[in-house]
Amino acid sequence: MGTVHARSLDPLPMRGPELGVQPDDIEAPEIEHEPKQEVLENKNVVVQQVHIDGLGRTKEDLLTYEIKEVFRAKNLIDVMRKSHEARQKLLRLGIFRKVEVVIDTSRGEGALPNGLDVTFEVTELRRMTGSYNTMVGNNEGSMVLGLKLPNVLGRAEKMTFQFSYGTKETSYGLSFFKPQPGNFERNITLNMYKVTGQFPWSSLRETDRGISGELSFPLWKTSQTLKWEGVWRELGCLARTASFAVREESGHSLKSSLSHSMVIDTRNSSILPRKGGLLKIHQELAGYTGGDASFLKEDFEIQLNKTLFWDSVLSTSLWGGLLLPIGDKPTSIADRFYLGGPTSIRGFSMYSLGPQSEGDYLGGEGYWAGGVHLYTPLPFRPGKGGFGDLFRTHFFLNAGNLCNLNYGEGPKAHLKKLAECIRWSYGIGLVLRLGNIARLELNYCIPMGVQSGDRICDGFQFGAGIRFL
């Protein structure tokens, strides 16, 4: 996903986080060391057999990778820990509704006195599940009807079809996901989609029809994604009053791009983390595999979190990006970066700063944005340990800039340009965490460094979204 880039019409999140069980949510419970187990701890045991009960269409060879660690356990505590890990792994495959672990002493022929049998009792998900969701994206809501075929070929493959009917767009997508057996993080995804979006800040309507193929794999501490995408983009004016600059961008284009992204995420939660950091680098090269658009796009995101006194968290983040056109053609309005709004630089209206023409924001080729937040629990901590923990208050300071770069000038001039006329804002607000995927904010903002043409939102501003500066 492009950084500050709600414009990039991402296909519907096919395998992204869902409002269900989250690996993040299940913070590996420390095995409780009760006095009884203390005795067992040193006793050597041998795991003789591992059963999996309740398998239907799932192929067993897939599961042997996930449970093989259990055989390596040397003592009872180890068996319990490893079984628990195996259970988590099984659940993560997204093919079981329920997994229960039963550990018993071995019985029958050849049973050793210190032999143990571990049984996983699993319940498979139905062959096909339908869903009805209301999705909250960056400042818009939509109704999503989905059809999911988990485990379609028996090895945790997933086929998803989604149809979304939204306040601003109607879209559909079909995706196929296949992990490598035994290595769930290494997977491929194929997508086919049509996404329609309306961008009132640019008086622009965009319809994308595309196909993409994606390969994800972990490498050391990072997770890497390589992607090819072919998109047919249709741009049009949202209204007759659209500026001529937007009118000139109307029409069809074909983008074929290769992109790579790398993520290191050590945060304990993606929404309201208490510790850890995030580094995300994304680069996209379009034009070398065909298509009309050719550019190189680079962007990054860094976030660091640190818990201070009294449960308060200091969070700093920095975003930046560059878009370089290749060849004579100028960049398209659909590829440029946008900045501003309650999810990036607060105190400005949604994507309403930087280069503009007759009130339509055209986006920029270079940007940076930084933010410092101090999150604290609610004053006097009402609803502690329950509902109240979903809320935080925060003090923030955001700054950033977005502009077009003339590539003849060299890097020094670029930096100078990005350092001129910095927009910044500060304020205080209330944050509500929604599940583990989104958050709502109500802030009182004071925008500063406003340039003529920017649209500001002085005072209270409400925001909902997935990514926040």
Partner 1 sequence: MSLAAEAFVSQMAAAEPWPESATLYQPLKEDQILLSDCASSLAVQAYLRMCGLPVQVVCKSNAEYMSPSGKIPFIHVGNQVVSELGPIVQFTKAKGNSLSDGLDDVQRAEMKAYMELVNNMLLTAELYIQWCDDATAAEISRPRYSSPYSWPLSNILAYQKQWEVRRKMNAIGWGGKTLEQVYEDVTQCCQALSQRLGTQPFFFNKQPTELDALVFGHLFTILTTRLTSTELAERIKSYSNLLSFCRRIEQTYFEDKSS
Instruction: Return residues touching partner 1 (CB under 8 A).
Output: 232, 235-237, 240, 244, 247-248, 250-254, 290-292, 358
Count the alpha carbons within 13 Å of 66 in the hemisphere toward its beta carbon: 28
**Amino acid at residue number 17:** P
- In terms of CB distance, is 258 or 304 closer to partner 1? 258
User: HEC states along 327-381?
Assistant: CCCCCCCCCCECCCCCCCCCCECCCCCCCEECCEECCECEEEEEEEEEEECCCCC
- In terms of CB distance, is 275 or 329 closer to partner 1? 329
| Nearest distance from C-beta of residue 254 to partner 1, angstroms | 4
| Nearest distance from C-beta of residue 356 to partner 1, angstroms | 15
| Nearest distance from C-beta of residue 296 to partner 1, angstroms | 19
Which of 317, 358, 357, 364 is CA-nearest to residue 340?
364
| Nearest distance from C-beta of residue 234 to partner 1, angstroms | 8
| Nearest distance from C-beta of residue 289 to partner 1, angstroms | 11
- In terms of CB distance, is 246 or 456 closer to partner 1? 246
The DSSP result for 44-84, as a single string, is B-EEEEEEEES-SSS-HHHHHHHHGGGGG--BHHHHHHHHH
Count the alpha carbons within 13 Å of 387 in the hemisphere toward its beta carbon: 2
| Nearest distance from C-beta of residue 240 to partner 1, angstroms | 6
Count the alpha carbons within 13 Å of 190 in the hemisphere toward its beta carbon: 5
Residues 6+ away with beta carbon under 8 Å from 183: 65
- In terms of CB distance, is 13 or 210 closer to partner 1? 210
- In terms of CB distance, is 233 or 392 closer to partner 1? 233
Structure tokens at 250: 């109307």
- In terms of CB distance, is 305 or 356 closer to partner 1? 356
What is the C-alpha to C-alpha distance for residues 21 and 3, in angstroms, rounded to an integer? 27
- In terms of CB distance, is 240 or 412 closer to partner 1? 240
Structure tokens at 207: 């319809």
Residues 6+ away with beta carbon under 8 Å from 255: 229, 230, 231, 233, 286, 291, 292, 293, 335
Q: The tokens 């949604």 sit on which residue? A: 350
Report the Cα 207 to chain-centroid distance in Å: 22
| Nearest distance from C-beta of residue 156 to partner 1, angstroms | 33
Structure tokens at 317: 């983040």
| Nearest distance from C-beta of residue 207 to partner 1, angstroms | 12
Report the Cα 25 to chain-centroid distance in Å: 15
- In terms of CB distance, is 181 or 236 closer to partner 1? 236
Please provide the distance, in angstroms rounded to a whole number, between the alpha carbons at the two ends of the chain: 15
